[in-house]
């Protein structure tokens, strides 16, 4: 999962490099805005992956009919994903208008944004289905297949970028079309693997009855609110940094790459914990569940220490790779002590997120995220706001720590009550 996670930012680098060598910087800016509009929607819809992983893992651990239950989860979550994907296509015009209004870009940039978006949006059904399918495969512990699917899709995307842009002179549309083809390719590969694992079990009508819809709506609804609360904090950091000034906005963009680096490793551990905890929950084995959580905490702590040491020793070099503007390098370097603390304060929330995804206790995830946002992130920023941009990073550190503490407390309470494997 760590290797699979690495492929996504690498693909972004290829896309940026191809667009960065086009005739006009407006092409890169326009395509970047188009990408941002869709990726923000896809990120918020990440609840599909979370719910699919948790339910799939629990089905795998089921002692009675793991194959049938796994197939049921596959078809249910895929149906939700397909509906959302088609909804994005139907609403593409208002979505584009809203994105353009928020971006407030120049007319030539706006033109390229529409050109990119109008092609890329047709990949929305595949993108939504990939969230559900990849989540389902992770829950089945088929992470090697996930890695292969990610690598094939991303390599295909990169190759088609070059063919469409340089070979066929398709400009921004070529970059968008390459992504759409890659998304549908990954979707088809995932479907083939999933059908093999479920032995071709086709959906039954009662799998989509009112009771099933109610469970999925509650689970996905809670996950959606959780994601929106998280996105509100991250968006506030970006927007408030931009309000402070150009330097602050640029520095925050650099520092967020440290957060991305941390997520690559810690999410890999968390995904493994999701699958193992979910399997233990499905088998109603609380002892194994706690043991998986403790092992996850150990490895998460090890990764956090490695990251902290790496940022302490090579933080300035990482900043140097990201920018050659001396003023930005000096300013960003002053934040390095906070970057060293970030993995140490934040690895708890990544790990316990994985635990609660495996347990499918979306209510706890929703509540702790909202509490951490409203009672920690924004109050801490308000208290330190006179310090300028650094207040945003104090708030983010406190927010990450609060999420870990609150989820850890919820886990401890449930374990003491012997209720970790109970249905919610």
In the predicted structure, residue 16 carries a pLDDT above the cut 70: no
Provide the pLDDT for residue 185. 95
In terms of pLDDT, which residue wins out, 264 or 25?
264
pLDDT-wise least confident of 61-75, 162-176, 230-244, 384-398: 61-75
Confidence band for 340, pLDDT divided at 50, 70 and 90: very high
State pLDDT tens for residues 258-279: 888 888 888 888 988 988 988 8
Sign of CA dihedral 156, 161, 162, 163: positive
Q: Which of 221, 230, 227, 219 is nearest to 360 (CA)?
A: 219
In the predicted structure, residue 325 carries a pLDDT above the cut 70: yes
Confidence band for 255, pLDDT divided at 50, 70 and 90: confident
Provide the pLDDT for residue 291. 93
In the predicted structure, residue 343 carries a pLDDT above the cut 80: yes
In terms of pLDDT, which residue wins out, 150 or 71?
150
Confidence band for 423, pLDDT divided at 50, 70 and 90: low
If you write DSSP's letter for every residue of 26-73 in order, what string do you get?
A: HHHHHHHHHHHHHHHHHHHTTHHHHHHHHHHHHHHH-SS-HHHHHHHH
In the predicted structure, residue 181 carries a pLDDT above the cut 90: yes
State pLDDT tens for residues 375-414: 999 999 999 999 989 999 999 999 999 999 999 999 999 9
Provide the pLDDT for residue 173. 86
pLDDT-wise least confident of 6-10, 195-199, 310-314, 338-342: 6-10
Q: What percent of the chain has pLDDT over 90?
A: 35
In terms of pLDDT, which residue wins out, 284 or 245?
284
Q: Please check whether residue 41 is in contact with residue 125, taking contact to mean a CB–CB distance below 8 angstroms.
A: no
Rounded alpha-carbon distances, angstroms, from residue 267 to 13, 128, 225, 337, 405:
20, 20, 20, 22, 18
Which of the residue ranges 36-45, 135-144, 234-243, 246-255 has the most confident prediction, judged by mean pLDDT?
Answer: 135-144
d(CA 253, CA 69): 43
Q: Is 104 helix (H, G, I), strand (E, B) or coil?
A: coil
Rounded alpha-carbon distances, angstroms, from residue 408 to 154, 177, 288:
36, 44, 17
In terms of pLDDT, which residue wins out, 64 or 411?
411
**Which pair of tokens denotes residue 81?**
């994903």
Rounded alpha-carbon distances, angstroms, from residue 305 to 94, 292, 344, 346, 397:
45, 20, 7, 11, 16
Confidence band for 236, pLDDT divided at 50, 70 and 90: confident
**Which pair of tokens denotes residue 163?**
């063919």
Residues for the chain: how many in total? 424
**Which pair of tokens denotes residue 257?**
């790459």
In the predicted structure, residue 202 carries a pLDDT above the cut 80: no
Provide the pLDDT for residue 15. 65
In the predicted structure, residue 310 carries a pLDDT above the cut 70: yes
Provide the pLDDT for residue 327. 82
In the predicted structure, residue 87 carries a pLDDT above the cut 90: yes
In the predicted structure, residue 117 carries a pLDDT above the cut 90: no
Provide the pLDDT for residue 337. 94
In the predicted structure, residue 306 carries a pLDDT above the cut 90: yes
Average pLDDT, the chain: 85
State pLDDT tens for residues 132-153: 999 889 888 888 898 899 889 8
Give me Rg for the CA atoms of the chain.
22
In the predicted structure, residue 8 carries a pLDDT above the cut 80: no
Q: Please check whether residue 43 is in contact with residue 187, taking contact to mean a CB–CB distance below 8 angstroms.
A: no
């Amino acid at each position: 999962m760590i290797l699979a996670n690495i492929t996504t930012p690498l693909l972004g680098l290829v896309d940026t490099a191809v667009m960065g060598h086009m005739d006009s910087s407006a092409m890169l800016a326009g395509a970047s805005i188009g990408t941002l509009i869709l990726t923000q929607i896809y990120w918020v819809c990440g609840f599909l992956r979370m719910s699919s992983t948790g339910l799939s893992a629990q089905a795998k651990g089921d002692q009675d009919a793991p194959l049938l239950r796994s197939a049921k989860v596959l078809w249910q979550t895929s149906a939700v994903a397909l509906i959302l994907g088609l909804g994005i296509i139907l609403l593409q015009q208002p979505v584009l208008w809203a994105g353009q209004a928020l971006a407030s870009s120049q007319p030539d940039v706006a033109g390229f944004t529409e050109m990119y978006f109008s092609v890329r949006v047709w990949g929305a059904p595949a993108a939504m289905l990939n969230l559900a399918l990849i989540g389902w495969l992770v829950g089945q512990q088929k992470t090697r297949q996930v890695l292969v699917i990610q690598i094939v899709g991303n390599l295909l995307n990169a190759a088609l970028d070059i063919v469409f842009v340089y070979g066929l002179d398709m400009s921004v549309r070529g970059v968008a079309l390459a992504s759409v083809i890659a998304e549908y390719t990954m979707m088809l590969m995932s479907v083939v693997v999933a059908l093999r694992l479920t032995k071709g079990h086709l959906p039954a009508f009662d799998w989509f009855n009112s009771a099933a819809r109610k469970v999925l709506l509650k689970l996905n609804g809670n996950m959606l609110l959780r994601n929106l609360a998280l996105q509100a904090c991250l968006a506030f950091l970006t927007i408030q940094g931009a309000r402070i000034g150009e330097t602050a906005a640029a520095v925050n963009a650099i520092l967020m790459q440290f957060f991305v680096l941390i997520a690559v490793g810690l999410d890999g551990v968390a995904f493994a914990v999701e699958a193992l905890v979910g399997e233990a929950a499905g088998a109603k084995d609380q002892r194994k569940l706690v043991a998986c959580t403790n092992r996850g905490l150990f490895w998460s702590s090890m990764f956090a220490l490695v990251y902290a040491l790496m940022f302490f020793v090579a933080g300035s070099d990482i900043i140097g790779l990201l920018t050659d503007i001396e003023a930005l390098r000096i300013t960003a370097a002053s934040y390095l002590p906070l970057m060293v603390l970030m993995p140490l304060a934040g690895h708890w929330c990544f790990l316990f997120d994985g635990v609660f995804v495996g347990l499918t206790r979306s209510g706890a995830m929703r509540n702790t995220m909202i509490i951490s946002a409203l009672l920690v992130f924004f109050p801490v920023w308000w208290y330190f706001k006179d310090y300028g941009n650094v207040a945003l990073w104090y708030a983010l550190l406190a927010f990450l720590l609060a999420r870990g503490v609150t989820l850890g407390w919820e886990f401890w309470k449930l374990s003491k009550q012997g209720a970790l494997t109970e249905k919610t």
